[in-house]
Structure 1
Amino acid sequence: MAFQGVVQLRTYTTVTMLGLLLVFLGIVGYGAPATTTLSPVDKFKSIVNAEVDALWNSVDHDSSGNLEESDLENIFDQYDDNNDKQISQTEFLTHFVGHQQNLDIIAQGLYYELDMDNDSEITGSDLQRYFEKIDTNDDNSIEKPEFETFFRDTLTLLFVLQYEGHLTSPMPTHT
């Protein structure tokens, strides 16, 4: 019973923080041209959708509309600067964030999510397990709708965490 109360409190806190983020985005007009009259929720959705689209375009190397093993290999090779068959947090953050420091916390959260075995390195095995997690129809290919659904949810949570400024250590995300 106490566990249920903790879960309800955490859910309430997350929903409250998301609400505050949406209000903040509405006040500063983040992500939308000044001439539009989008609601704060629509502005937030627009930001997340734009990030998901950019992420998809960066990983679908052959523009096939699906992510396959070859796409994973390309991603891994791009991020593994020292060719040690592992992607360190530094390598990942350098490539993912680039010169956009506003993505730092989001990149950290995504790194922790991709490190499926929590050993502080992303390996080919981690990427394979992550691929299987996103491939919800188990056809050995990640279609764009699968990718969008998964990353829309993931990036929404990471944006909230970035706004809260609380993502400083790995969070347990796997069982």
Structure 2
Amino acid sequence: MIYFNLFFTFFKIGLFTFGGGLAMLPLIQQELLRKNWMTVPEFLDLVSIAQITPGAIGVNSATYVGNKLCGFWGGVTATAGVITPSIIIILILSAILIKLKGNVYKDAFFFGIKPITIGLISYAGYTIGRDTYFIDHKISITPILISIFAFIILRKFKTNPVYIIFLSAITGIIFL
């Protein structure tokens, strides 16, 4: 039964989330906490791990959760659940979009969906930031400084994010 729950939970997440992996995070968090599959600190660890490993964050998250709950086959099941809707939808949409090239309604649809994607990603940033910057209801300055430093370095110097992740991890180890 847990395999069915894993598949269906991540199928639902994959089906109802637009905007990629970061936009999935609020729904993943809500589902994991509601089902008591993870705590908030475990979810934050999941986000960190899913971000630093190669691949899509939604797929990495599903694999991690499934593996944590049921081992290898749980990871396979959750991953299959999260990618199946995308495969089905992209096959259908690609056939439709080819026929609708230059259609004004198609263009209007994509114009309307872009702000929702930004909103979902912003909300994910807000929830992760809230749980990262406030520890035991007190503001923690170190994660805030790490975030600001990473943003400035990425924006100003166009540095490879892998270097920033590595330096941030070392900083966290030193100051924790």
Q: TM over 0.5: same fold?
A: no
| Pair member with larger Rg | 2
Shorter-chain TM-score tier: under 0.3
Q: What is the TM-score with the length of structure 1 in the denominator? A: 0.28
Compare the two structures and name the one with the higher helix fraction: 2
